[in-house]
């Protein structure tokens, strides 16, 4: 349930209303925008009489929310959320960012790749230190040593670092290392203990859509993180599993505007994992940009044929630089203010 507060209400009146609600055993989420203040009431609101609330002097109107996701719901928070990723990098609310780097951290070539992607315009360094692989016999990543290399490269280039955490027991390690954004991969999209654990931190969380997740299930995964107190969540559409076999996954570009309609959280696209082939990554990135994504995550490697993992979908630094130029043109066309005729 949400209660829209009249713009004539004083801060004291608002505080009294929130206390009145919480004294009755409910949680609240107050969202103050430029034009309207919303109080989200979380709990079994079937016991609340909406007419009683609307009779209060400071309440404009009351609306029941049927969707199970509350904190992620745009109705609770009408304005876009902006997530601070560190190093002065913001995402959401008109702030567009590109995360780029190798699928796996492999060694000294990381800094070379990081310098190249930053020169092309990337603002966040991505790389996998712990790798969830389908086969237990393939490379599982460098682990803690890979985290150290990522953080060293990020510090040198003054870039936030995003990397995947796979185990609730490793969350503290990521915090100790100073990782700027903790990524939850598609295979862990409904690993609820892990979602709750990262939700107990204040570190931004990049949440990827599960391979067979519906949009509502995706938002409920975000709700798990936010319900623990961490509202710094970035959603990532990375393709879903369908009957199509010509690409690694089916890139659900529809999900980008649908998510923007349903939630205030930033939404980015991952064309690398969505398509699985270098030749398709750039067109899919352009489509996500045109669809209104708040950012992209793109795999880049200086020698894809020698990459430890996912070399088939990695762009070379030159390809990435070309893509970034075209992405800027698309954003200029899509996001430009159109004057009334």
178 pLDDT above the threshold of 50: yes
341 pLDDT above the threshold of 50: no
Q: How far is CA 186 from CA 201, 213, 239, in A?
A: 20, 9, 9
Q: Is 3.40.50.1980 the CATH number for 83-335?
A: no
Is residue 146 within 8 A of residue 170, CB to CB? The reply is no
Chain centroid offset of residue 177 CA: 21
> What is the reported pLDDT for 139?
63
Say yes or no: do domains 2-63 and 83-335 share a fold: no
Dump pLDDT digits (tens) for 278-328.
999 999 999 999 999 999 999 999 999 888 888 899 999 999 999 999 999
How buried is residue 133: exposed, middle or buried, by Cβ count under 10 Å (0-12/13-18/19+)?
Answer: middle
- Using the structure block, give the residue that is written with the tokens 């492999």: 106
The greatest distance separating any two alpha carbons of the chain, rounded to the nearest whole angstrom, comes to 68
Angstrom distance (rounded) from CA 219 to CA 164:
19
- What's the CATH number of domain 2-63, 3.40.50.2300, 3.40.50.720, 3.40.50.1820, 3.30.70.1140? 3.30.70.1140
Per-domain residue ranges of the chain: 2-63, 83-335
The whole model's pTM is what? 0.90
């Amino acid at each position: 349930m949400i209660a829209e507060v009249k713009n004539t209400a004083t801060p004291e009146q608002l505080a009294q209303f929130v206390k009145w609600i919480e004294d009755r055993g409910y949680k609240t989420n107050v969202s103050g925008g430029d034009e309207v203040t919303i109080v989200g009431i979380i709990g079994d609101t079937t016991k609340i009489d909406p007419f009683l609330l609307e009779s209060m002097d400071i309440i404009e109107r009351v609306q029941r929310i049927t969707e199970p996701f509350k904190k992620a719901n745009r109705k609770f928070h009408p304005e876009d959320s902006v997530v601070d990723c560190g190093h002065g990098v913001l995402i959401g609310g008109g702030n567009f960012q590109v995360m780029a780097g190798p699928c796996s951290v492999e060694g000294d070539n990381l800094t070379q790749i990081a310098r190249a992607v930053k020169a092309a315009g990337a603002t966040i360094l991505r790389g996998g230190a712990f790798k969830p692989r389908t086969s237990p016999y393939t490379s599982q990543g460098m682990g803690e040593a890979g985290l150290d290399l990522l953080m060293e490269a990020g510090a040198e280039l003054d870039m936030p670092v995003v990397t995947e955490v796979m185990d609730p027991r490793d969350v503290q390690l990521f915090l100790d290392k100073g990782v700027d954004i903790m990524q939850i991969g598609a295979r862990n999209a409904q690993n609820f203990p892990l979602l709750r654990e990262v939700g107990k931190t204040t570190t931004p969380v990049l949440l990827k859509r599960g391979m067979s997740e519906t949009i509502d299930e995706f938002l409920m995964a975000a709700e798990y993180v936010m319900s623990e107190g961490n509202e710094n969540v970035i959603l990532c559409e990375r393709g879903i599993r369908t009957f199509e076999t010509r690409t690694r996954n089916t890139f659900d570009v529809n999900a980008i505007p649908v998510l923007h309609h349903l939630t205030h959280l930033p939404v980015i696209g991952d064309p690398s994992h969505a398509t699985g082939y270098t030749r398709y990554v750039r067109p899919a990135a352009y489509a996500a940009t045109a669809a209104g994504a708040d950012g992209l995550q793109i795999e880049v490697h200086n020698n894809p044929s020698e990459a430890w993992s996912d070399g088939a979908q990695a762009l070379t630094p030159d390809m990435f630089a070309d893509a970034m130029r075209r992405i800027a043109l698309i954003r200029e066309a899509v996001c430009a203010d159109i004057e009334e005729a």
